Amino acid sequence: MTRNKATSTPAAPAASPLLSDSVLTHEHVVPASHGHAFRVKADSHFRIVDLHGEQVVDLMAWVLPPHSKSQQPTEKLSMAYTRFHLSGATPAIGETLVSNLDNPLLKIVKDTVKTHDMTFMSCNPSLYEQQGLHGHRSCAENIAEVMEPYGLSLGDIRGTDPFNVFQNTPYYTLKPLGCSRAGDFIEMKALADLVVAVSCCPYDVGGFNGGKVTDVAIITES
Ligand SMILES: [Zn+2]
């Protein structure tokens, strides 16, 4: 679902309090356990907002091919290249996430949580099947669904490491250590024309994601 402050009429309900920034006006709610892809132009900002708390959001990003809309994107956000450049295990405000060609793609400009993960893969069908959970939604499939129009498959997504926003897994700790609260957000600035894909992580096993997967919001400039 989407809401746009610029198109609201005086009779419409008040805009979401999330839309308090004069530049970031468009809110898209990503339903629990689902994905969303959106384009951002270089120098524009966007936010990922945890609406209910303790919800992890897997994020991947690709540079849009400049010459052909039908061309499959190949340059993408890389956690391995990014880890090489960072001062710590998670990006600080002002630090940059880079691509597999070592180009800067996203800059962290605001962050009310400051705890994220850059080491784990996205949850995927195999992970759930190993636990007897057949047909369970997964981040890898969510992102594959929304990136299919760009020519990417589940195999492409499973070969891409995500930036796990709001995921608290220090030193590879696989315990339900939620860290974000309702209303927390991270804001990033795009440093190239990108398509960004996010997944509201469906991993509801063992108390992760607060034990109940919930919606998140993406706030963009238009
Ligand atoms: Zn997941």
Q: For the chain, what are the domain ranges?
A: 25-220
182-191 in b/e burial notation, b at 16+ Cβ within 10 A? eebbbbbbbb
> What spacing in Å lies between the alpha carbon of 201 and ligand 1's midpoint?
4
Residues 6+ apart with CB under 8 A from 216: 29, 30, 48, 49, 50, 51, 55, 57, 198, 200
pLDDT of residue 21: 62
> What spacing in Å lies between the alpha carbon of 124 and ligand 1's midpoint?
7
pLDDT of residue 194: 97
pLDDT of residue 170: 87
- Given a cut of 70, is residue 62 above it in pLDDT? yes
Mean pLDDT of the chain: 89
pLDDT of residue 8: 41
- Given a cut of 80, is residue 184 above it in pLDDT? yes
Structure tokens at 137: 């939604």
- Given a cut of 50, is residue 178 above it in pLDDT? yes
The rounded distance, in Å, linking the Cα atoms of 177 and 54 is 8
Mean pLDDT along residues 79-87: 93
- Given a cut of 80, is residue 29 above it in pLDDT? yes
Mean pLDDT along residues 40-45: 96
> What spacing in Å lies between the alpha carbon of 57 and ligand 1's midpoint?
7
167, 222, 42, 34: CA torsion to nearest 10: 30
> What spacing in Å lies between the alpha carbon of 67 and ligand 1's midpoint?
33
Structure tokens at 206: 């063992």
Residue 9: pLDDT band with limits 50, 70, 90? very low
Q: What is the pTM of this model?
A: 0.89
pLDDT of residue 175: 84
* Contact in structure between 19 and 208 (CB atoms under 8 Å): no
Question: Which phi and psi (to 5°) does residue 124 adopt?
Answer: -150, 170
> What spacing in Å lies between the alpha carbon of 162 and ligand 1's midpoint?
10
> What spacing in Å lies between the alpha carbon of 184 and ligand 1's midpoint?
19
- Given a cut of 80, is residue 200 above it in pLDDT? yes
Other C-beta atoms closer than 10 Å to the C-beta of 47 total 20
Q: For the chain, report the end-to-end CA distance as a whole number of angstroms.
A: 14
pLDDT of residue 196: 98
pLDDT of residue 20: 56
> What spacing in Å lies between the alpha carbon of 36 and ligand 1's midpoint?
13
